[in-house]
C-alpha cells in the first residue's frame, strides 16, 4: 500500500531511532571499540539488516522511507527501485511494493559467468531509478552501484537509506558531486538522543560516544591500535 500520510522528519527520525534500540540493532562499546571494515576503531555499531526480522518495525520504516522520498523528490519521481547487494535487496523489494514500481537489484561486481550482469531484473534506458540500501557511512560504496545503473542508460539521482551516519561532512558532497541526493530516516545523533532519554548506558559511556560523533577522525586516531 502506498503511504498517503507524511509524518514530519523529526518524528520519523525519533521513531526510527527508538525502533533500532527496541530490536537491539544498536551497540555502544567505547571501552572496547568495534573494529570497522576499514580497520579503524568505533565505539558504536549498528546492524541495519536486523529490521527485516521484525515485521511491524520493517513496515513502519519502509512507510517512512516511501514518505521521505515522495516528499523530497516527488510522488512520480521514479520508474524503478533498485536494491544494492546484499543488504539493500529486501528493503528495495519492500519499497517497490509500497510505491507500486518494478524492483531490480545491483550486484557489487559482475557475477563472473553467463551474461556477467550487475543488474538483475528489468531496467530500461531512460528509467529513473531510486537506489535503496540499509545505511551509508561516507557515501563511497554507493557510487559503484549508481555507475552500474547508469551504464544501462537509466538515470540514478537519488539514494535512500534507513540509517545515515551523519558524522562525516564529506558524505553528502561525495554523493552530490556524483549527482546523487541522499534521503535517510535517522542518524547517530538521533540514536544517541534516544539513548540519553532512556538512560540506556551510563553517562560516561554516552559522553565518550558523543565525543566520537563530534570528532570521529580524531577519536579514531586516538584509539587506533598498533
- Which three cell numbers mark 8? 514530519
Contact 127, 150 (CB under 8 A): no
Classify residue 128: in a domain, yes or no.
yes
Distance CA 199, CA 188 (A): 16
Range of the domain at 193: 9-220
Q: Once rounded to an integer, what is the mean pLDDT over residues 82-91?
A: 97
Classify residue 36: in a domain, yes or no.
yes
Q: Is the pLDDT of residue 8 over 80?
A: yes
pLDDT digits (tens, 9 = 90+) for 188-217: 999 999 999 999 999 999 999 999 999 999
- Which three cell numbers mark 47? 546492524
Classify residue 225: in a domain, yes or no.
no
| 155: three-class secondary structure by DSSP | strand
Distance CA 151, CA 81 (A): 16
- Which three cell numbers mark 45? 555499531
Beta strands in 34-127 (DSSP E): 34-35, 41-42, 44-46, 80-84, 103-106, 119-120
Q: What's the CATH number where 112 sits?
A: 3.40.50.2020
Contact 154, 181 (CB under 8 A): no
Overall pTM surpassing 0.85 (yes/no)? yes
First to last CA, the chain: 52
How many domains does one find in the chain?
A: 1
pLDDT digits (tens, 9 = 90+) for 126-153: 999 999 999 999 888 899 999 999 999 9
Distance CA 51, CA 175 (A): 25
Confidence of residue 116 (pLDDT cuts 50, 70, 90): low
Amino acid at each position: 500500500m502506498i503511504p498517503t500520510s507524511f509524518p514530519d522528519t523529526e518524528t520519523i527520525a525519533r521513531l526510527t531511532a527508538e525502533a533500532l534500540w527496541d530490536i537491539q540493532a544498536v551497540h555502544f562499546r567505547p571501552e572496547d571499540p568495534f573494529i570497522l571494515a576499514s580497520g579503524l576503531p568505533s565505539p558504536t555499531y549498528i546492524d541495519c539488516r536486523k529490521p527485516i526480522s521484525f515485521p511491524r518495525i520493517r513496515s513502519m520504516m519502509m512507510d517512512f522511507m516511501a514518505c521521505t522520498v515522495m516528499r523530497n523528490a516527488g510522488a512520480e519521481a521514479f520508474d524503478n527501485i533498485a536494491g544494492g547487494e546484499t543488504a539493500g535487496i529486501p528493503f528495495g523489494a519492500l519499497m517497490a511494493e509500497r510505491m507500486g514500481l518494478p524492483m531490480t537489484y545491483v550486484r557489487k561486481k559482475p557475477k563472473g559467468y553467463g551474461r556477467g550482469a550487475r543488474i538483475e531484473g528489468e531496467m530500461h534506458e531512460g528509467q529513473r531509478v531510486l537506489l535503496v540500501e540499509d545505511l551509508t557511512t561516507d557515501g563511497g560504496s554507493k557510487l559503484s552501484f549508481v555507475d552500474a545503473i547508469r551504464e544501462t542508460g537509466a538515470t540514478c539521482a537519488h539514494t535512500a537509506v534507513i540509517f545515515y551516519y551523519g558524522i562525516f561532512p564529506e558524505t553528502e558532497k561525495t554523493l552530490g558531486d556524483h549527482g546523487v541526493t541522499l534521503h535517510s530516516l535517522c542518524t547517530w545523533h538521533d540514536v544517541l538522543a534516544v539513548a540519553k532519554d532512556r538512560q540506556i548506558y551510563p553517562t560516561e559511556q554516552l559522553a565518550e560516544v558523543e565525543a566520537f560523533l563530534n570528532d570521529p577522525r580524531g577519536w579514531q586516531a586516538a584509539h587506533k591500535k598498533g
